[in-house]
Amino acid sequence: MYMTTILSAAEAKKAASKRVPVNESFKLSSIEPWDMVKAQLLVKINNALSPKKLDYQQYHVMFFVPKSGLVKLGLTLSTDDHYTTLLAHVQASTNTIPIVNITIQEKENMVEKENVAVEAPGVETHENAGEKQKKVCRFALARIHLLKPIYRRRRKNRLSFQEM
């Protein structure tokens, strides 16, 4: 039995306690080929996230077999060799009904990030020409300047109190 936990890229950015994953399960025989398992995972991804383009390479897929001696973080599941490793861990498992936990996490779209222009402050481009520059908060500097006169007043009060 395969238990899948599917996270979108936006959900994966959240703190672990605030994530809301989509959980799916399915059963397949251990004699099924890798392509069948991959197709089932793509169906579960499509049902959970409804992406515009469904490509297996756009997801981090990790598996973990409880009670098999495998590290709980899991191993990558992206090729036929990885699937063979998964089957070996299933056979080594001490469970009567082996369960495979699969975590699917959407990768961030790197194409969109590459096209985002980074603007230096004070530099005008054709996109921000004519816009007012945002003022930077100088709270920390103002706080230092305000503390000095208060400190002096307190010091004067102490001196006058001690002289009495």
How far apart CA 144 and CA 155 sit, in angstroms, is 17
8 Å CB contact between 78 and 106: no
Q: For residue range 47-83, what is the model confidence (pLDDT) as tens digits?
A: 999 988 899 999 999 998 887 766 666 889 999 999 9
CATH number of 2-108: 3.10.20
Contact 80, 56 (CB under 8 A): no
What is the pLDDT, as a whole number, of residue 110?
A: 46
More confident residue, 70 or 87: 87
Does the pLDDT at position 19 exceed 80? yes
Query: How far, in Å, are 109, 134, 136, 147 from residue 142 at the CA level?
Result: 42, 18, 12, 9
Predicted pLDDT at 92: 83
Residue 95 backbone dihedrals phi, psi, to 5 degrees: -70, 145
What is the pLDDT, as a whole number, of residue 70?
A: 64
In one letter, which amino acid is 163? E
Domain locations in the chain?
A: 2-108
Is the CB of residue 62 less than 8 Å from the CB of residue 71? no
Question: Averaged over 18-47, what is the pLDDT?
Answer: 91
Residue 114 has pLDDT above 70, yes or no: no
- DSSP character string of 76-109: E--SHHHHHHHHHHHHH---SS--EEEEEEEPP-
**What is the DSSP annotation of 27-72?**
---TTS-HHHHHHHHHHHHHHHH--SS--GGGEEEEEE-TTTT--T
Question: Distance from CA of residue 28 to its chain's centroid?
Answer: 29
Burial of 4 from C-beta contacts in 10 A (0-12 / 13-18 / 19+): buried
